[in-house]
A and B are shown apart, each in its own frame.
Chain A
Amino acid sequence: MDLYVVVLVEVLYGVASLILISAGLAIVFGMIKVINLAHGEFMMMGGYATITAVNLGVNVFVAMLVIAPVAVGLVGLVVERLVIRHLYGRLVDTMLATWGLSLFFIGLATMIFGNTTTGISTPIPGFAIGDYQVNGYNFFIIVAAALLLVAMLSVLKGTRAGLVARGTMQGPEMAAALGYSPDRIYMATFFCGSALSGLAGAILAPLVGLVPTSGGAYIAKAFITVIAGGPSLVAGLLSSASLFGVVNQAFTFATSPVIGEVALLVAAVVLLRILPQGVTGTFFKGKI
């Protein structure tokens, strides 16, 4: 019985971390059709922002939930104004430019922080379920991911800003004719997406040893989760993250973490071959 609880927690944790990793990319790709390949580096910067703030004496949760998103959001704002803004509508060009940005940020982080591993300890202690020891921080990640999804859904569906953003996504000319500036909405969306990437990087920072190249570990997973999710933002994110999270954890339990990762990637290839429009391109149509 205890084992099942532990496995359930691990699977939930796998799904939740995929949701966290992909949320920022999903916003940017889903809303403004820009694939941000520097997404992993935004997460890396979120991690470094958290660690730097904690080392300066800031409370770890403040650093994680406030400082990191704002810092990375601002970086995203600069990136959007200088680079992305000129490339809207040119999907492949944005991919290439953001890939360049990702290398640029890796280089920058290497120059500032050095090519060494840094990290902070997890702020929540572990506890026991029966005979098994569970990492308490996993629960924090599960709760954070759930809150994040609820927040995204309620902002997009329940607020005027979300309505305007969705409207602009469907018809920029129409939104412009109604007096909203698509340029500024895209800018704000990119800021939100970057901030979410920073938040994800910050929340995951205590679990990994951070190096300047850490972003590479996230980008592929985020990329495939978002693409496999399809056109609907929240529903797509939830469905593909659940699918891949379960596959990953199942194979990790059955064999080894490496096979788990490989199984996730193979599942992605197979899924994209069968459903090239993503999960929500076929199921749950019209949801957000």
Chain B
Amino acid sequence: MPGDLTRDAITITLVTGVLIWVLPLIVGTYTLTVLAIYGMLGLSLGLVWGFGGILCFGQAAFFGLGAYAYAIFAINIGESTVPMILAVLVPAVFAAFLGALMFYGRLGDVYLGVITLVVTLILFKVINSTAGPQYVIGNARLGGFNGIPGFPTLNVPGIPDAYIWGDRYFQVCAVLLGLVCMLVTALLRSSFGRIAVGIRENETRMSLMGYDVRARKTAMFAIGAAIAGLAGGLFANWAEIVTPNLFSLGQSAEIIIWCIVGGLGTRLGPVLGAAGLAYLKFLLGQQAVVDNALVTGLVLVLFVLFLPKGVVPALSALWRAGAGRRPRGRVRQRRRPPRRERLNG
């Protein structure tokens, strides 16, 4: 990856700053908040799948776990700082266990897909069936299908009465998204990130070079889950209710669609894909002629068929060709091998 970290950090800061200032002039901040949260969620899978080569069909599980962890601890603790930290930690620890189970078993990508999908379903079914008053964690009733409403929302750390909401909350989410972007950038520039990309490209080669592929994949999986958990905690604050639908297969499908449409192997792609498609869904929700799922499904099929690389890589290739700049090195010119081989490593 060319350039250096400082320049990237400055770019991300500038872009985030400008967007926080400009976007609310066009779209309401209530909508923008959730777009930023989805952007973060998209980025979490974009990191795990696009750079780590781990196709997770259950990223929604970590999103939902983060949201539920926040809601449950917020009710029990009464303020938001510790629950927010737990919203990151709980999914990360869960993912570390699940990842260790899968990667130390050296499961192939199809089996990985099945297991993550099944785990998401288990969580969905379990949470869905906790409707009775006997299912309580501390003071928080799990509420089954109806979810958990009425937990304290985000406040200024240390001052439980100073709630952050409305425009301020959007700014918090956007800044956090910028920070996560920077974190991901730093991670990818570090040796850990480069080795992760190496594992994506050829797992056997990396393990022969002496790297512990299983531990590194597990760590990558946990980091992705932590980001998804943070997005989940923020989402719980935005929606002010958490329901089992956060764990649904539809939610997982959407995250995967964002990544595919935005572009795998880029940082910007999943964020843009998430925000763009979520906004499209929001617009589609305002009319009753065409069903939402129909359009989402069609978008996914068309992208897999005609633009499997996604929008961002296609546009940047176009940009390079248009600007008359020669692509850097052979690697960028080479046609991408079929994804199956890439993921199998």
Residues of A with Cβ closer than 8 Å to B?
35, 83, 86-87, 89-93, 95-97, 99-108, 110-111, 216, 219-220, 223-224, 227, 256, 258, 261-262, 265-266, 268-269, 272-273, 276
**Cβ–Cβ contact A91 & B110, under 8 A:** yes
- Total contacting residues, chain B, CB less than 8 A: 47
Residues of A within 8 A of B24 (CB): none
User: Cβ of B119 < 8 Å from any Cβ of A?
Assistant: yes
CA distance A216 to B253 in the complex (A): 12
Number of A-B contacts defined by CB within 8 Å: 129
| CB–CB B118/A269 < 8 A | yes
> Are B126 and A262 in contact, with the CB atoms below 8 A?
yes
Chain B residues with CB under 8 A of A216: 249-250
A173 to chain B, nearest CB (A): 17
Interface status of B74 (Cβ within 8 A of chain A): no
Bound: A216/B125 CA distance, A: 13
How far is A87 from B301 in the complex, measured between Cα atoms in Å? 11
Contact A105–B115 (Cβ < 8 Å):
no
Instruction: Name the CB-closest residue of B to A272.
Output: B111
Q: Using known A-B contacts A86-B305, A224-B118, A269-B115, determine if residue A104 contacts B297 with beta carbons closer than 8 Å.
A: yes
Main secondary structure of the interface of A (DSSP, over half): helix
B296: which A residues are within 8 A, CB to CB? 100, 103, 107
Dominant SS at the B interface? Answer: helix
Is there contact, CB below 8 Å, between A104 and B298? yes
Q: Cβ of B15 < 8 Å from any Cβ of A?
A: no
Query: A110 near B111 (CB under 8 angstroms)?
Result: no
17 interchain pairs, CB-CB under 8 A = A86-B305, A89-B340, A90-B339, A93-B304, A99-B300, A100-B257, A100-B304, A105-B297, A107-B294, A108-B294, A220-B121, A220-B249, A258-B126, A258-B128, A262-B122, A266-B122, A272-B115
Q: With A103-B296, A216-B249, A269-B118 given, is the CB distance from A96 to B291 under 8 Å?
A: no
Q: Establish whether residues A87 and B249, one from each chain, have CB atoms under 8 Å apart when the complex forms.
A: no
List the interface of chain B (C-beta within 8 A of A). 55, 101-102, 105-111, 113-115, 117-119, 121-122, 125-126, 128-129, 249-250, 253, 256-257, 260, 290-301, 304-305, 308, 338-340, 343
Asked whether B122 lies within 8 Å of A107 as measured between CB atoms, the reply is: no
Minimal beta-carbon separation of B287 from chain A (angstroms): 12
B293 engages A110 (CB within 8 Å)? yes
A227 to chain B: which residues have CB within 8 Å? 110-111, 114
* Cβ of A40 to closest chain B Cβ, rounded Å: 10
Interchain CA distance A227-B118 in the complex, whole Å: 12
Given A93-B304, A93-B308, A110-B291, is A100 in contact with B299 using a C-beta cutoff of 8 Å? Answer: yes
Which residue of chain B has its CB nearest to the CB of A216?
B249
Q: A103 with B293: in contact, given A223-B114, A224-B114, A276-B106 (CB under 8 Å)? A: yes
Chain A residues with Cβ below 8 Å from B108 are 276
Shortest A177–chain B CB gap in Å is: 23
Shortest C-beta distance, A36 to chain B (Å), equals 13
- B304 to chain A: closest CB distance in Å? 4
